[in-house]
Each structure stands twice: as structure tokens, then as C-alpha cells.
Structure 1
């Protein structure tokens, strides 16, 4: 075909030059495919949500270990402080329960944020049934509690990071369904682009594949929802409306993911409007109040989004102008410094030339004097 006989069909084109052209085309195509915006990288979201899930499991396991370990010494504390992270903080603060006094009450209140609970801990420590504990065991418990607390603090920071990344990469999806659930959908799909390619029926049962295939195999009822079950909308809906609202929510999630994937300037306007639509649909199922038409809502969203995009572009233009001004000033400063350096070097060379000329004149003056002195010496010697 044409590929095989292409060098023979085109005059002046050798097989070697055709291979070079194909290589260049392949490189340019690969560069175009690889080129992406650093602020829209969804891989960081996938890694963050995976790490967040792993941290939740680890913190829960380690906290249970601290409870079990410190429970031998102060078993009543488990009922008073049920929250894992707070329990570790309280255990680290108390240490040996026999040393807990009224002076420590203020510090306990700061940790548990409840004066009644702090007073209950103090009273329970005085009449506790727990066994005594050696200082070495207490040091190990405090050290492990410190590690669990640091993990909990890191988890909070990671959640804030995930929230900021979702607002950059998928603002509409995070505004509609929340940052964590949106990140789980992106992670399960593999990327935001893959999620945008999925139909609403796939998004609805994303995460419930095992239940789906089991239902298909046994010819039972297929699942109504997957990962989107963790959304607040599904929990608020009545039992008979859960399937309907999950289908509607999956539809809106698909629209939001496509808007986020293919829009040049990411904005949460569409996500907010889609969320309002889901709220109205939920109210319609409960009260029968008819929701607004999709066309009306989308017209409003497009108008607001265009204003937001215009504002963002204005800010970008201002930043670009400021950057150009800074660059211009820097170049002018460099040019002025170069001119000053050039003038100094010219002056130095002129001074060197003048000094060299003076030295030459002195040498010329000294040479005749030496010549005059030589004959006189010769004459004296001859006499």
C-alpha cells in the first residue's frame, strides 16, 4: 500500500528521510499527549484518598491497641472518652492515674473540651479498679500514644490537602457530592477522564461490582448504588426513594465530571447548581413540590460561570502584565549593570595605556643618560 511504497511515490523522498519524518511526527504527537496542566493532575487525588483510607485503618488499629494497653491501668477511661484520638491524648496527659490531681483539671478540660467530662475522669481515677503500672511500661504507652496522635494530626492535614486538590481538579464534582466521595469515584475510575467517559448507569453502581455480578449470576436484584451511597443525599432519602435518588444523583455526577474534565477554567458554579437540582428532586419525592426545569437551571449556571471565567481571565491578565513589568525591569537593570561594567573596564584600560606610555617615556629618558655616563667612565679609566 501507500505506507510500503511511499518513498517511491513521492519524488526526492528517500526511505531514510521518511523514517526521520515519522520519528519526528511520533515525538510531536507524544509531547502533545503528555503535555498537561500541573494544577489539574488527578493522580495526586488518587494517591491521597488511598493514603487517607489506609491511615483511617491504621489509626483505628493503633488506637484500639492503646485502649487495650492502657485499659489495664485505667479501665474506666474507655467509657468516658470513646473517641480514639482524644483517648490517646488523654492517656498521654494522665500517665499514672495516681498522680492525677485537681491541678491537672485545667489541662484535661483543654483536651476533652468539656469540664463535666474532665471532672468525671478525675473522680474515676480516684476510685479506679485498674492495676498499678511500672514506669517503663508507662513510657512505652506514652511513646506509642504520641505516634498515634501525630498520625491523627497528619490525617487532618492530608484531608485539607485533598480538599484543596479537589477544588482545583474537580470543583463541580466536589461541590455536588463532597470531596471524599468525589475523590473515591475518581480513584475507582482510574482518572477524571475515565470517570467522564462512564455513563450514569456505571457511575451509579461504581464500587459495587461484586454485588452486581453476584446478582447477575444468581438472577437476583442488582444493586441500586455503589460509592455514591456515602453521599448525604442517599441517607436523607426515604427507603422507597433511595434507588430513584441514586439514579438521579449518578446522572448529575456524570455531568459534573464531564464539565470538570473538559472545561478550560475550573469553577464550582455548575456543581452548586446541580446540587440545588438534587435537593429540589429530593423535596419533590417527599412533598410533591415540582422542581425547576433543567434548562432554566443550566442557563443560570452558564451565565454565572461566564462571569467567573471572565473574572479569572482578568486576574490572569493582570498577573501576566505584572510579570512582564518585573521581567522588563530586571532586563533594564541587567543592561544598566552591563553598561556600567563596560565603562569601568574602558576607563581601566585607558589608565593602563597612559601608565604604560609614561613608563616608556621614563625608559627613553634614562637610556641617553646612561649612554652619556659610559664614555666618561671609559675616559677616566684610559687616563
Structure 2
């Protein structure tokens, strides 16, 4: 099921952002407008299902460094967008909230900092005292949370799940503050909806850093097995292309390569289990090995492979796919993304105007981010109704 609403509150410049989503969406805006923050917030939401949200926040410098910095005391540089919004200078409770609603289920989580016990000191307590904890969490049926459609919610150390009679009953009573319902309560017997939602979130795919440098794994022969989803760094490119050809829509992949590089084709050879990618181009006497391809050509092949996956995810997010691409490739890329949006919901984050305009011609929803007093906003869109779970 496609996402229809994305909500983020308290993350960097995203003080309170609720966005409607369509099948094909383009997030654009000037440098510093919040595109990267929106992309990272989506990844954080996916990390919840992987049990990696706290580790991901730690990699960003901890919860405090990612908090909305608005309120009294931020500088004129932050207000104008010349300086990143970091640190929490407000006096309210620390809160980072992430959520989404799809056509059938919704989910939201509220992360904060632990409250020390009476008289506790850092030396007497845990060394993990700066790790965020889960303050609230809920799963519901439909587009908007209400007290009438809750399927599962967190209650301190308990997880309450709706039973057959419609009542919420505890299925877990020893949930640690750093654990989510997704990590502990999702099971096929007592909380099948949680399990279903977790697996859907885990299947979201993100592509933002294809390795295309001289030492990239995709440039050298490597052991290959059937690969229904290209790795996020493109390292298993050759076997992924062959998988598309054998169990996916190989002709559509070949047409996409021809559309971008007329007279060219991608070839895969396998010797002693080692898969090798090359590209045959018109006018050349031999195929060019992957090690000889330009950065832009290799990236485009990786994008074509990801978008022609034989197992399309419900959601695919492409972060600045235009990197290293020649301007002439942006129109074919837009056509390829638009075709893929018939199989997966797609969010493209881009500042390439030519790509943005080409996607708009294919019916993509434009989400143009702006900064206003340091806060990321989107003008001229209808803001969906949204409610956060109470702490």
C-alpha cells in the first residue's frame, strides 16, 4: 500500500512538517532548504523497523544534535538558512517524532531523552544516558490516529494490542525504554498487524550512494548469486542485471539503456562463478569493461537496475540520482523513474531543475521546500490531518 502522509516533528529544520504523498513525488528546493533532513528522517523511520534508529541517531551525533533548534536564541545565520539548524535551545521536552499513514495502516513514534531518577547522577547511572528512549508509539487503522482506531500502542513498559473483541490487551509487559514495539511485540500470533507493518517498512529501499569510483566493487568481477534487489551501494550490479534479465523484465531494462545510450547494450559474463559487466557501444570493436566506463554511465546502469528490480518494493527513495550524470541523461532518467512508479511508490530528492521539470511533465507531485525563519516549509499544498500519539 502506498504512503499517503509523511509526518516529521523536531528533526533539524523540520519543526513540524506533514506532507501528502502521491505515487511519484519530487522533493526539491535550494541548498539548505531541508532536502537532506527530509531524506534522513525517512531513513530513520525505516531504521525503526530494523531496530537501528537509536544507532542511526548516535551516528548523527546523538538526539540533541538532531533536534529542532528553533525558539529563542538562534542566530540570524540560522534564520536565513546560511548556517545549519543544530542543537536544541528550546525549553520544552526533547522530542523527535516520526510517522506515516498509508491506505490501510499508520504508525508513529516519539523519541526523547531518559529522565534520571531522584538523586541520580551520570556516574551512578548508565553510560548510555544520552541514548534516546521511546516516549510514545502507536499503530492505527486508516489515515489518521484517533482513540477509536488504535490497533497497538505503547504504555510505559507494556505493549497493548487490539484483540478479537476490539479491546486493547497487553502482549508484552517488560519493554525496555530503548526498545520499540516493532522490535519486541511483532509476532504472527498476538500482533500480526505489527509484524505485517514491520516487514513492509523493512522492505523500503533507499539509493543515495552508488559506488562509482575507480575501486568500486561494481567495476570488478565478483561472485554472484540471484539478486532481486540491488544493494544500496551498487556493489552487486552484475548479478543484479542478470537477475533482471532472467526473472524480471529484461527487455524493458534493455530499452532503458538504449533510450539513454542509443546503439548500446549491457552484457554480463560469468566465468567460474565470477560475474562481470561490460557495455557494448556503437562504433567500438569491443565491449568496454565496467572498469573502463565513465562514472555517469556506471551510475545510470545502476539506476536502471534498481528501477527494473524483479521484486518492486512498496516504496523506493532516490536521493540526488542526477549525480555524475550528463544533462542529456536526465530526460531518459525521468522516463525510467516515471515507468517504475507504476510498480513502486517513488520519492525523488533532487536539486537538478531539468530532472525536476521532466518528472513534473510525467505527473510527479512537486514538494518544493523553503526556509522561513529557519524552519522548513512547503507552500501551496494541502496539509493532511494528523495526530501524534500522546506521551
Does the alignment reach a TM-score above 0.5? no
Tell me which of the two structures has the higher relative contact order, counting C-alpha pairs closer than 8 angstroms and 6 or more residues apart: 2
TM-score (ref. length: structure 2) = 0.21
Which TM-score applies when normalising by structure 1? 0.21
More helix, by proportion: 1
